[in-house]
């Protein structure tokens, strides 16, 4: 069973939910150990995260691929947070997704056209 993938040339990582969970757990572990200050992980933290991520997944992702994915996760978090600030949106923890009636979503898209591409990921 393939749980994580990367292209042959290693230039683009393909992130699964499983790999993202491993990555997030490793980030949290380093935060708890005090290896993040002023919003940035130390070089040692990135080395530990990279080595342990690759060990657990069998991949050979480099530090930059991991940092890029952290940027993606931050962007997604900020998008969800912004949407939840609007009336009619709720978070369903059991399904890990946003919920809203179609008319609420449509009004949000009209006010924020860039959000239209996010709807398929956020139900």
Q: pLDDT tens for residues 24-83?
A: 999 999 999 999 999 899 999 999 999 999 999 999 999 999 999 999 999 989 989 999
Range of the domain at 108: 86-123
Same domain, 67 and 105: no
What pLDDT score does 25 carry? 98
Put simply, whether the predicted model's pTM sits higher than 0.85 gets the answer no
What pLDDT score does 117 carry? 52
Q: Please give the residue that has the higher pLDDT: either 89 or 123.
A: 89
Beta strands in 1-123, from DSSP E residues, in sequence order: 5-6, 13-14, 36-37, 40-41, 90-92, 97-99
Domain for residue 80, yes or no? no
Rounded to the nearest 10 degrees, how much is the dihedral formed by the CA atoms of 105, 109, 114, 115? 0
What pLDDT score does 11 carry? 62
Domain count, the chain: 2
């Amino acid at each position: 069973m393939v749980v994580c993938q990367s292209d042959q040339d290693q230039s683009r990582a393909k992130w699964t939910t499983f790999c993202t969970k491993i990555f997030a757990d490793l980030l949290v572990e380093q935060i708890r150990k005090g290896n993040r200050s002023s919003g940035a992980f130390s070089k040692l933290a990135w080395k530990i995260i990279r080595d342990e991520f690759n060990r657990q997944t069998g991949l050979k992702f480099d530090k930059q691929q991991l940092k890029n994915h952290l940027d993606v996760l931050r962007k997604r978090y900020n998008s969800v947070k912004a949407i939840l600030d609007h009336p009619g949106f709720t978070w369903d923890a059991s399904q890990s997704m946003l919920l809203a009636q179609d008319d609420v979503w449509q009004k949000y898209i009209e006010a924020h056209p860039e959000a239209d591409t996010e709807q398929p990921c956020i139900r």
